[in-house]
Amino acid sequence: MPAESLSHGEKPRVRFAPSPTGFLHVGSARTFIFNWLFARHNHGTMVLRLDDTDVERNTDASVQSIFEGLRWLGLDWDEEYKQSERLDLHRKAAEAIFAKGLAYRDFTPAHAGDDNQSGSQGAWLFNPGMRELSREESDRRAAAGEPFALRYRVPRGTDRTLRFKDGVYGEQSKLADEVEDFALLRSDGMPTYHLASCVDDADLRISHIIRGQDHLTNTFKHLLIFEGLGAPAPQFAHLPLLVAPDGTKLSKRKHGPVVSVTTYRDAGFLPQAFTNFLCLLGWSPKNDREFLPVDEIKDLFTLENVNRANAVVNFTEEDPFDAKAVWLNAEHLRALPIDELSARLTPFLVEAGFQAAPEKIAAVTPLIRERIRLLREAASAADFFFLEKLPEYDPKELVPQKGDAALARRVLQHAEQVLATTTFDHASLEATMREAAATLGLKAGPMFQPIRVAVCGRKNAPPLFETMAVLGREVCLERIQEAVSKLDTLA
């Protein structure tokens, strides 16, 4: 939906309206982000509204999890509301719609599907017995305390077509005759999602409703409610569904933790990388770039660039994260200033049980930055910096490819000697070790491999001299001596 669809000078007001019935779903996070991008791109207002009228399904834990997830994403909002604090408004609106003759009381014992958000067609379109009840009888039964649901009196037999232009999916239409008489109030007096949502959207002067495609068919009901309220309908834009590799809608029940935002946080995604990834699920910039900071996405973002096709989140049982998400995370990690990355890595190192001074983490960070894709991987990439004792390794690793244990021993013993006196900084270590190689008549490879394995416990490790400088003389010498004794075990 182009910003031009706003009247001149008017700033958009959008809302993110999660129902606190579970953790923050990746699809909800994407809806939040797209609303945020639209609001910020157009200098509008971002409203956060908790759709918490479904008292049976709401939980405090879910409210916490939603806020925790949103705070982690690090994107802000300007106004905050709770539907449960606005029930009077919803009920008054329902009364006003009823007073206009646009709704009727349904005294049938509670219907399943009263609060049907899914838009699925009920088994009935309207309840003739109740729709045609005279006002006198309806009033009499209500006064006698008989419980009732309040239903919208959808126009029947009029050939009326309900229409709207969706900002993503284009022209939409449906015959009013095909829309059931949906509930506005449930028999316990609570507003349904449809009523509460539209009343609040009208009252909060929401100009653009940007939400999941699963709400597209609900929009026809919402158009009727706005009409009943005498309020102009906002513009609508529905976002393509997020689906699993097999094409099924991403769901917590079916796909488990991969659907929860906190799973990404706990695995060590950076919020900016995760946001970048979510933006590419259904939206793409015209220039096909993928690695984008959120500020840049905000500048580029338009709803016209949102695709209609379902967006696939790729994962397998062994590999729970989409390869693109992981790649983007590695890119964002590398783009972070070292001190910020150090701060991000710290909780993961602490969780892995490493006690490390901030200065040490700061020194290690540039050495592992190119070697990790997720923050969590720092624990295994950097363990030898923090562990007092190296994990067991195969002494054969100490032996250079074209050499034997005797050569490895010679290298290590010579290194032990020269390292006892050299200064432990990058430049001195490099000069000393190159000189040592020359003394022994060795190339860099056979010289450095035994030392690398001795101090890191593996061949695949960060640059050697920087690593040794961080580890310090004492640790390096101790580990080299230990390596020498390990060589003894090789027959």
List residues near ligand GLU by CB under 6 A: 17-19, 51, 197, 211, 215
The nearer residue to ligand GLU, 211 or 479, going by C-beta atoms, is 211
The pair of structure tokens assigned to 216 is: 């597209």
Report the nearest approach of ligand GLU to the CB of residue 191 (Å): 12
With respect to ligand GLU, which residue has the nearer C-beta, 115 or 383? 115
Q: Supply the minimum distance, in Å, between the C-beta of residue 216 and ligand GLU.
A: 11
CB of 397 to ligand GLU, least distance (A): 54
Give residue for tokens 């906002």. Answer: 234
| The two three-digit tokens of residue 350, written as one number | 């602490």
Q: Of the two residues 47 and 419, which places its CB atom closer to ligand GLU in the complex? A: 47
Closest approach, Cβ 17 to ligand GLU, in A, equals 4
| Nearer to ligand GLU among residue 47 and residue 279 (C-beta) | 47
- Are 91 and 191 in contact, with CB atoms under 8 Å apart? yes
User: Which amino acid is located at 389 in the chain?
Assistant: K
Q: Which two tokens stand for residue 48?
A: 């956060």
Which CB sits closer to ligand GLU, 19 or 275?
19
> Parallel, antiparallel, or unpaired for β 149-152 and 103-106?
antiparallel
Any idea which residue has 């909060």 for tokens?
204
- Find the catalytic residue in 92, 100, 252, 254: 252
Q: Token digits for 142?
A: 């209500």
Please state the closest distance from residue 42 (CB atom) to ligand GLU, in A.
18
252 is catalytic: yes
The alpha carbon torsion through 145, 147, 148, 149 (nearest 10 deg) reads 140
Residue with tokens 């008489």: 181
Cα–Cα distance for residue pair 45/38, rounded to 1 Å: 9
Q: Which residues in 197-234 are b (16+ Cβ under 10 Å) and which e?
A: bbbbbbebebbbbbbbbebbbbbbbbbbbbbbbebebb
Report phi then psi at 41, rounded to 5: -60, -40
Catalytic residues: 252
